[in-house]
């Protein structure tokens, strides 16, 4: 076994860490308070090649492995989760379906500007009526005179309303199978299509600088060739996309937990009580030691899942395991880091207050942690585990 990152991966980690500390950190509090995605930072991320990291160079990508992608997300999340989720959703959810299931022509048209960061794409699976039961999709698309006519709505869609969002790939019911089940297809909708409406931003608990909207589709017409991949397997395609996204969101959890650890160690050395630094008390040491153990263990789970994917081996169960574990420990780490900071942890000037608000959604997005348990149980061959997919 080899636990070392390659020299390239280590260099890349340094580069992203420097970017996160020098460019993102000084503005993290202000972006969070404003609740707006800073497009100048997105532009710089594009220039660094972050949005094209795991995609082939022929489409403007960097041709890096998926583990490198996870390292980038981890390093950004160590400083700011809103920017980390912007990257994760742009790559893992927005561009990946086009890369995995697009035709050559679709990739040239849509993937190239996504890789360079000139444009962002979103992924619309969840609907106001439900996310976990994704097969309950109500949005419909019917074929009429060579065009798909789409009607319905989507909820909580990340990166769907930025000034550079070019496309949203949505799931829609396009027919019925012989056994009565819905046929769900994936269709690419350019955001300038008439009838496509972006509702105003949600007021979120965390990830406040990330762009999240409800979307409405009122007789939205797109050409027939905007269908992505197999018309009968749109749902399965989305689920495959989520296998990758789960590793990436787990990397976000590791980064956030690492940020909690770093802030806690620093504060425990500086803050004094009863004439000694609080870090001299075992009660505080144990909290910090527990965060350290959790971060390292979660990182191993995430890197293993990413490595399996990079080796072309099955990784579905490992992806769920990494997502479940890393996001659970991220929430725990944020709670304990806030506690280490005492009253100041509850004040927004200290990053741990933001980490605390940002952590919770990790247990919800890209499939709730209940769903991950079902998927892990299913992988173990347990009966009755048939929800969500």
Ligand X SMILES: Cc1cc2nc3c(=O)[nH]c(=O)nc-3n(C[C@H](O)[C@H](O)[C@H](O)COP(=O)(O)OP(=O)(O)OC[C@H]3O[C@@H](n4cnc5c(N)ncnc54)[C@H](O)[C@@H]3O)c2cc1C
**Active site positions, annotated:** 366
In the complex, minimum distance from the CB of residue 340 to ligand X, in angstroms, rounded to a whole number: 26
CA distance 100 to 87: 18
In the complex, minimum distance from the CB of residue 289 to ligand X, in angstroms, rounded to a whole number: 31
Q: Which is nearer to ligand X, 130 or 223 (CB)?
A: 130
CA distance 245 to 90: 10
In the complex, minimum distance from the CB of residue 155 to ligand X, in angstroms, rounded to a whole number: 7
CA distance 76 to 65: 18
CA distance 155 to 363: 17
In the complex, minimum distance from the CB of residue 368 to ligand X, in angstroms, rounded to a whole number: 3
In the complex, minimum distance from the CB of residue 326 to ligand X, in angstroms, rounded to a whole number: 16
Q: Which is nearer to ligand X, 339 or 385 (CB)?
A: 385
Strand-pairing partners, residue 159, are none
Q: Which is nearer to ligand X, 261 or 322 (CB)?
A: 322
In the complex, minimum distance from the CB of residue 375 to ligand X, in angstroms, rounded to a whole number: 12
Q: Which is nearer to ligand X, 92 or 345 (CB)?
A: 92
> Where along the sequence are the contacts to ligand X (CB under 6 A)?
89, 93, 122-126, 130-133, 156-158, 204, 207, 212, 361, 364-368, 370-371, 387
Q: Which is nearer to ligand X, 130 or 314 (CB)?
A: 130
Find all residues with CB under 8 Å of 352, minimum gap 6, and list them.
260, 263, 264, 334, 337, 338, 340, 341, 345
In the complex, minimum distance from the CB of residue 373 to ligand X, in angstroms, rounded to a whole number: 8
How many whole angstroms from its chain centre is CA 44? 19
Q: Which is nearer to ligand X, 141 or 278 (CB)?
A: 141
Question: Which of 378, 101, 35, 58 is closest to 235 using CA atoms?
Answer: 101
Q: Which is nearer to ligand X, 125 or 260 (CB)?
A: 125
Q: Give the residue nearest to ligand X (CB).
A: 131
Phi, psi angles (nearest 5°) of residue 231 = -60, -25
CA distance 257 to 20: 16
In the complex, minimum distance from the CB of residue 377 to ligand X, in angstroms, rounded to a whole number: 11
Q: What is the DSSP string of 32-45?
A: HHHT---HHHHHHH
Tokens in use for 138?
């109500």
Q: Which is nearer to ligand X, 228 or 261 (CB)?
A: 228
Strand-pairing partners, residue 190, are 167
- CA dihedral defined by 110, 112, 114, 115, rounded to 10 degrees? 150
CA distance 149 to 171: 13
Strand-pairing partners, residue 147, are 144, 223
Contact 122, 91 (CB under 8 A): no
How many whole angstroms from its chain centre is CA 76? 12
b/e sequence 104-130, b meaning 16+ C-beta within 10 Å: eebbebbbbbbbbbebbbbbbbbbeee
């Amino acid at each position: 076994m080899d636990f070392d990152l390659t020299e390239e991966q280590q260099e890349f980690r340094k580069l992203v860490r420097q970017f996160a500390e020098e460019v993102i950190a000084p503005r993290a509090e202000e972006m969070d308070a404003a609740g707006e995605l800073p497009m100048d930072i997105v532009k710089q991320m594009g220039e660094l090649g972050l949005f094209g990291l795991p995609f082939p160079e022929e489409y403007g990508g960097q041709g890096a492995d998926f583990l490198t992608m996870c390292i980038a997300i981890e390093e950004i999340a160590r400083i700011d989760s809103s920017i980390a989720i912007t990257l994760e959703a742009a790559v893992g959810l927005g561009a990946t379906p086009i890369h995995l299931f697009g035709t050559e022509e679709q990739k040239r048209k849509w993937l190239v500007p996504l890789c360079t960061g000139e444009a962002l794409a979103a992924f619309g699976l969840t609907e106001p009526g439900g996310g976990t039961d994704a097969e309950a999709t109500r949005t419909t698309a019917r074929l009429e005179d060579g065009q798909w006519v789409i009607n319905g709505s989507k909820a909580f869609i990340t990166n769907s309303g930025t000034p550079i969002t070019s496309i949203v790939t949505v799931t829609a019911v396009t027919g019925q199978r012989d056994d009565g089940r819905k046929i769900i297809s994936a269709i690419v909708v350019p955001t300038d299509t008439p009838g496509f409406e972006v509702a105003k931003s949600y007021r979120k608990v965390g990830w406040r600088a990330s762009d999240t909207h409800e979307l409405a589709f009122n007789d939205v017409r797109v050409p027939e060739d905007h269908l992505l991949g197999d018309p009968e397997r749109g749902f399965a395609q989305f689920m495959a996309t989520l296998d990758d996204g789960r590793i990436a969101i787990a990397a976000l959890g590791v980064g956030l937990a690492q940020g909690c650890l770093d802030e806690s160690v620093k504060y425990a050395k500086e803050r004094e009580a009863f004439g000694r630094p609080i870090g001299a008390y075992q009660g505080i040491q144990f909290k910090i030691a527990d965060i350290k153990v959790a971060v390292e263990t979660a990182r191993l789970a995430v890197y293993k899942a990413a490595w399996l994917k990079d080796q072309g081996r099955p990784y579905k169960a490992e992806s769920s395991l990494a997502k479940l574990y890393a996001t659970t420990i991220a929430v725990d780490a944020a709670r304990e880091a806030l506690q280490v900071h005492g009253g100041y942890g509850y004040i927004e000037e200290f990053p741990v207050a933001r980490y605390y608000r940002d952590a919770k959604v990790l247990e919800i997005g890209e499939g709730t942690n209940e769903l991950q348990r079902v998927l892990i149980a299913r992988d173990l061959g347990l009966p009755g585990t048939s929800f969500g997919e």
